Amino acid sequence: MLGLAYWLLLLFYGLFVLGVLAASGYFVYYVYGMIRDYLRFRRNRQR
């Protein structure tokens, strides 16, 4: 019984870590896209 609870806890922890990694990766990609668009907009305005 203890082993089953341990594996369930490990599974939930792994899913939680995967979710956090996916969310942080998506956030970094979103911020990178915003910065890239801002730099492109600024460069086009200077011309």
Residue type at 31 in one-letter notation: V
Tokens 């086009």, residue located: 44
**Buried b / exposed e along 32-46 (16+ C-beta atoms within 10 A):** eeeeeeeeeeeeeee
DSSP string, 17-43: HHHHHHHHHHHHHHHHHHHHHHHHHHH
- Chain-wide mean pLDDT for the chain? 94
Mean pLDDT computed over 6-29: 97
Inform me whether the pLDDT recorded for 45 exceeds 90.
Answer: no
8-state DSSP, 13: H
Write down the pTM of the prediction. 0.57
The residue with tokens 């998506």 is: 26
Domain count, the chain: 1
Domain coverage including residue 23: 1-47
User: Can you read off the two tokens belonging to residue 34?
Assistant: 């915003």
Question: Who wins on pLDDT, 46 or 11?
Answer: 11
